[in-house]
Structure 1
Amino acid sequence: MTSGIQLAALWLRKAKSAVVFTGAGISTESGIPDFRSPGGVWTKYRTVYFDEFCQSAEARHEYWTQKAESHKQFAAADPNIGHQIIAKWEEQGTIRGVITQNIDGLHQIAGSRDVLELHGTAREVGCLDCQARFPVDPFVDQFLETNEVPPCPDCGGRLKHATVSFGQSLPELVLHRAHRWCLEADVILTIGSSLVVYPAAGLPEAGKQNGAKLIIVNRDETGLDSIADMTIPGSCGEALAAMDAAL
């Protein structure tokens, strides 16, 4: 393990364009449950697909019920040592930036500036009808108080968290930029992702196929372990802290 950390740090030190790719595993160490884990939101409620949300008031209420519950889990969460180290690496120029599957905004709170959010952000809501965006907290509070889905304050339209729902396409410009980062990378460090959800998992895979070294840090096996240059099992925060010390 120690020799692997040292080698990963050496690759990062020599990299001209290193990219960090993160999944839910980095944020579970801040107390935010993985939605797929026992007790996670996805195990307690049915999936509300994007087309249902658009067409059905009942589906919109179900969606807001789920989002209001998950909001409690991340609103009070703080970035952990992993988020903080990644932000420091960006500031120092060790990495180009972060591509994340997470919607919790903890990378930005930790100080990361160049963050590509593949699945959007739960820190904001957006109107599907006029495209206005607003901070999420007042609208969650309003829903919890009234048990009614809040309308857009600008146009009265359908207000939805600014996250990508099932059946909804990933933001094209963000996905395109993330793909370009991975193709231009010489090192891709993936942290806390199962690397089985596509098209997101295809990004580090494309980078590896284009010549980047692929380092995977995760508690469990991932969908890309077989092509990785290095796998580091265990805690994301501990692995990043050890890598940072080696740097």
Structure 2
Amino acid sequence: MHMRPTLSWTPAEGLPPGTTDVAPVADVLGVGGVLVVSGAGISTESGIPDYRSEGGSLSRHTPMTYQDFIGSAQARRRYWARSHLGWRTFGRARPNAGHRAVAAFGRRGLLSGVITQNVDGLHQVAGSGGVVELHGSLDRVVCLSCGAFSPRLELAMRLDEANPGFEPVAAGMNPDGDADLTDEQVGGFRVAPCMACGGILKPDVVFFGEAVPPRRVQHCRELVREAASLLVLGSSLTVMSGLRFVRQAAQAGKPVLIVNRDATRGDQHAVTRVALPLGAALTAVAGRLGIPVDGEAAPWG
């Protein structure tokens, strides 16, 4: 559901192979001025699935588009039923070692910023400050009529009241917080309107088929210009919303480093791609830099 439309891409022959050597990442971080761009892969160890890895949610789940959401009351009912159920699990997710490592790098002054494609808020829960949420966040809701914002937790309470006994068993969870439900399970789920004007509520996230707000894109481009290097964590870079920043950095002669188990659409622009799980890779990088990665954070939401 969130992020831009899927692009047709498969890893091309001749791309640089992945490595298990984290030394180049540690070396670049040691210099400082690193801009992190994170994707769904950094949250998989927190129990939130990704989209495009083997067995990722796109292999079994077609995300709702912005056009479907605004054009059909039934589509909105299906979305909110699935999202409401998914929120109960999604909102309990906790930051993992990858999130905590990024926060630790930030506290040491090694990062110039963090841009995340994720909508789970786990970077902030782990302690990262000034995170740019490229695709928005599930913890906010916006009215499409009056533009009023409200907390997702408030809406969750209203939906509980409007749908007593709604306890279907989902077949799975998706990166955008949707639970997999059948139309029969959705049934007559009641959608809550905006409390200010009675308008249509939408999570404050970028759906498939919807553009990232231009001001947000411009801010991210400025962060790339100011950074000394770019570190991509857990993103396939399949969609242009993240790939454009990699291309911008590479064109400016800034080192691009990627930590992702699978090949990415940005590998040709990268100095290296570390093909390791994010938690293990970033913990190893932190160890080389003498930075402890520990501590637990409270659940988000």
Same fold by TM (over 0.5)?
yes
Q: Residues 177-213 of structure 1: CA distance to partner in whole angstroms, max 9, x if unpaired?
A: 1111112322111010001111222112211211111
- 8 A contact 1:32–1:73 mirrored in 2: no
Q: Secondary structure at the match of 1:21?
A: strand
Tell me, in whole angstroms, the C-alpha distance in 1 between the residues paired with 2:280 and 2:212. Answer: 31
Task: Measure how far apart 1:60 and its partner are.
Answer: 1.1
Gaps of 5+ in 2: 1-18, 164-188, 290-301
Matched, 1:66 2:66: no
Q: Which has the higher helix share?
A: 1
Between 132-141 and 114-123, report the one with greater CA deviation: 132-141
- 8 A contact 2:24–2:272 mirrored in 1: no
Task: Measure how far apart 1:156 and its partner are.
Answer: 1.0
| TM-score normalised by L of structure 2 | 0.76
Q: Secondary structure at the match of 1:122?
A: strand
User: Could you tell me which residue of structure 1 aligns to residue 22 of structure 2?
Assistant: 5
Task: Measure how far apart 1:45 and its partner are.
Answer: 4.9
**Which of 251, 259, 283 matches 1:209?**
251
Change (3 A) 1:96 1:165: same
Pick 1 or 2: higher relative contact order, CA cutoff 8 A, min separation 6: 2
| TM-score normalised by L of structure 1 | 0.91
**Which of 15, 37, 45 matches 1:21?**
37
Q: How many correspondences in the alignment?
A: 244
Superposed counterparts of 1:39-118, under 5 Å? 40=57, 42=58, 45-118=61-134
User: Could you tell me which residue of structure 2 aligns to residue 121 of structure 1?
Assistant: 137
User: Could you tell me which residue of structure 1 aligns to residue 150 of structure 2?
Assistant: 134
Change (3 A) 1:192 1:67: same
- 8 A contact 1:85–1:240 mirrored in 2: yes
- Equivalent pairs: percent with the same residue? 39
- 8 A contact 2:101–2:286 mirrored in 1: yes
**Which of 221, 226, 237 matches 2:268?**
226
User: Could you tell me which residue of structure 2 aligns to residue 160 of structure 1?
Assistant: 202
Tell me, in whole angstroms, the C-alpha distance in 1 between the residues paired with 2:56 and 2:38. Answer: 22
Aligned-residue CA RMSD in angstroms? 1.9
Q: Residues 59-97 of structure 1: CA distance to partner in whole angstroms, max 9, x if unpaired?
A: 211221232243233211100111111112112210012
